[in-house]
Chains A and B, each alone.
Chain A
């Protein structure tokens, strides 16, 4: 199962990567970050992105084909900006083998499941394993339980996800793209956890972010959508 994800990027005929310059950073004040969303089909990946990027929610489900590309820039209080270049991938099975094309070189991976679907939670775990094996070594991983508004139909206990996230050193949040609950917080939290070259006072560029680093805690100012 896992072997297929290690497709060599030998030449352009092979599955390569869609990273811009191979790095998530363009200059010290303006971060450019490649972010990929992965997860089972129908868990609401596109809805999360559209809520974040355009502030919209469309209840009619539109199946993503291949992957959609969107970007959103956020300004931080320290006058740096973070431009998220988001790859919203299709959750359909037929695209599974092509996922490396989208997640290779990503600085952030957001793995989404539906809190009403245990199957989507197992799928999320599959993606996390895959990313740990084949993603960038210092990738920031977020586990997102979406459709929190449907809590009366919940079948994945929050505690299960919390435990799983903790065990895998990733950050966990429950969101609702429908009500916009925690959507901005999700990306805020991601921005906080990004390795930042500006902070030279940190002795080394952190590979794995320590808690003390995260506690620097920034308030983000959201730019209006362009």
Chain B
């Protein structure tokens, strides 16, 4: 069998403490939900293999701690992310208000080459709580915010019931993939005859 190039996508999940980041990830990767809340300390990492449009790739999911005291994860932590997932709790206004901070923080730290088009996905989680009666952030409001930030895809999810989780991550993978730069040819230098000094082959089209 010919080699199949597999891609690896780094996905970072951000959002306030308790909005259900870890639960979403668990539901997606392990199809499990636990009612017990355990604060993530620092970060958790999960791996999931996904098939998409006939290609196999691996999501490397970086689940971060939402508590403020862990927020200074540093530049290196965000470096090279392919997609950033912003999560809030539809029942907690503050968690929605903070989306902006999380997004800004990410853009500052990761400093992606094209911040305008960096792929974000927003998830409004816990829509199952109290049959939706305790909800304080309307879907309309959330969608408006997403639209204002360059049409960020938006999903309403329930990690507990597994609602929309698969669809959300499919979209995450798709967006991360879309943002991949054109497959570039690896172009190393060659040594010139004088020895020791290298030169880069000119990449201009001379034909």
A–B in direct contact per CB < 8 Å? yes
Measured between C-beta atoms, what is the minimum distance from B202 to chain A in Å? 6
Q: Which of B21-29, B62-70, B154-162, B186-194 makes up part of the contact surface?
A: B186-194
- Which residues from 93 to 143 on chain A have a C-beta closer than 8 Å to any C-beta of chain B? 93-94, 96-97, 113-114, 116-120, 123, 133-134
User: Which residue of chain B has its CB nearest to the CB of A100?
Assistant: B201
Question: Contact mask B1-37 → A, CB, 8 Å, 1/0?
Answer: 1111100000000000000000000000000000000
- Distance of A123 Cα from B3 Cα, bound (Å): 11
Measured between C-beta atoms, what is the minimum distance from B123 to chain A in Å? 32
Measured between C-beta atoms, what is the minimum distance from B189 to chain A in Å? 10
* B205 CB within 8 Å of chain A: yes
User: Which residue of chain B has its CB nearest to the CB of A95?
Assistant: B186
Q: A1-B182, A6-B207 are contacts. A13–B187 as well, Cβ < 8 Å?
A: no
Q: Which of B182, B185, B199 contacts A13 (CB 8 A)?
A: B199
Question: Contact mask B170-207 → A, CB, 8 Å, 1/0?
Answer: 00000000000011111110111100000101111111
* B130 CB within 8 Å of chain A: no
B residues in contact with A2, CB < 8 Å: 205
- Which residues from 71 to 100 on chain A have a C-beta closer than 8 Å to any C-beta of chain B? 91, 93-94, 96-97
Range class of the B interface residue count = 20 to 34
B residues in contact with A6, CB < 8 Å: 204-207
Assess whether B207 is in contact with A42, with CB atoms less than 8 Å apart.
no
B residues in contact with A41, CB < 8 Å: 2-3
Q: A96-B186, A97-B185 are contacts. A7–B201 as well, Cβ < 8 Å?
A: yes
Assess whether A133 is in contact with B202, with CB atoms less than 8 Å apart.
no
Assess whether B1 is in contact with A42, with CB atoms less than 8 Å apart.
yes
| 25 residue pairs bridging A and B, Cβ less than 8 Å apart | A1-B182, A4-B185, A4-B187, A7-B203, A8-B201, A8-B202, A11-B192, A13-B190, A13-B193, A13-B199, A14-B190, A14-B201, A15-B190, A15-B201, A41-B2, A42-B1, A43-B2, A91-B3, A97-B186, A97-B187, A114-B1, A116-B2, A117-B1, A117-B4, A134-B207
* B54 CB within 8 Å of chain A: yes
Assess whether A97 is in contact with B2, with CB atoms less than 8 Å apart.
no
User: Which residue of chain A has its CB nearest to the CB of B188?
Assistant: A97
User: Which residue of chain A has its CB nearest to the CB of B202?
Assistant: A8
Q: A1-B185, A3-B205, A7-B201 are contacts. A117–B193 as well, Cβ < 8 Å?
A: no
Assess whether A13 is in contact with B192, with CB atoms less than 8 Å apart.
yes
- Distance of A203 Cα from B187 Cα, bound (Å): 44
* A40 CB within 8 Å of chain B: yes
B residues in contact with A91, CB < 8 Å: 3
Q: A11-B193, A12-B193 are contacts. A40–B201 as well, Cβ < 8 Å?
A: no
